[in-house]
Amino acid sequence: MTGVLDDRRDLVAGVLGEGSLVPAVRAALDSITPGLARAFCVVPAVPDPAPLTDLDDGRLDREVGDALAATLAHVQQAAATFAGGGRLVVVLPHAPLLGTTRGAAASAVTNGVLSMARTLALELARDRVTVNVLAVDADAPSVRALAAELEALLGDAGADVTGQEISLTAGAGLGRLRP
């Protein structure tokens, strides 16, 4: 876990997780002006692309089950620090959320975490904890855009924003196609 303390030393924002977007999230948090609510960004590890034929029971347990279990553990770790409220932002790569070739395991993790975040937003609202998801272009994450969105969600203006799925993809893959 990494963290950033503001001048008052009582408000903290940190990063939990092992996903490939951790460095971009750390850089974004480091560039945010002090004054954040108690907050954590959770960045799950997402499996690398692989053919569907490689997704056997062992790989399913290791890469999907372990990633979901680790994400839940990180959420529980963060929630334990949220006495009186807090903010949780889950940062996911956007491509597997929408579906990619050779991405069954990655899709299972990202969409499982997205569904978990939606439920957590409802469940943790009673404790004044907001939960939102940022779907980021993992190939070229914009630290500037990520910092701006994190500052909005983690600052005073984000106190009532919860249960949102926000895409930071520079216009690529803006969402699911609907018939």
Per residue in 91-140, pLDDT tens? 999 999 999 999 999 999 999 999 999 999 999 999 999 999 999 999 99
Whether 16 is covered by a domain: the verdict is yes
Residues 138, 23: contact at Cβ < 8 Å?
A: no
Task: Pick the more confident residue, 67 or 83.
Answer: 67
**pLDDT tops 60 at residue 6:** no
Does residue 173 fall inside a structural domain? no
Task: At 144, list the tokens.
Answer: 């500037």
> What's the confidence (pLDDT) of residue 156?
84
Domain-embedded: residue 96: yes
Determine the pLDDT at residue 46.
97
Q: What is the structure's pLDDT at 8?
A: 34
140: CATH: 3.40.50.720
Q: What is the pLDDT of residues 12-49, one digit of tens each?
A: 689 999 999 999 999 999 998 756 678 999 999 999 99
Q: Could you count the other beta carbons within 10 Å of the beta carbon of residue 32?
A: 19
Residue 56 falls within a domain, yes or no? yes
Strand runs labelled E in 44-120:
86-93
Q: What is the pLDDT of residue 84?
A: 87
Would the pLDDT of 58 be above 60?
A: yes
Look up residue 175 and give its two tokens.
């969402």
For residue 7, the SS3 value is coil
Place of tokens 């590890």: 45
In contact, 4 and 29? CB cutoff 8 Å = yes
Residue 175 belongs to some domain of the structure: no
- Structural domain includes residue 34: yes
Residue that the structure tokens 């008052």 belong to: 8
Rg (CA), the chain: 16
pLDDT of res. 61: 94
Is 112 within a domain? yes
Q: At which residue do the structure tokens 């790989």 appear?
A: 59
Q: Which residues constitute the domain of residue 160? A: 2-168
Kindly tell me the sign of the dihedral angle through the C-alpha atoms of 152, 97, 88, 28.
negative
Domain total of the chain: 1
Instruction: Kindly state whether residue 154 falls inside one of the protein's structural domains.
Output: yes
Mean of the per-residue pLDDT values of the chain: 88
pLDDT tens, residue by residue, 135-176: 999 999 999 999 999 999 998 889 999 999 999 987 665 555
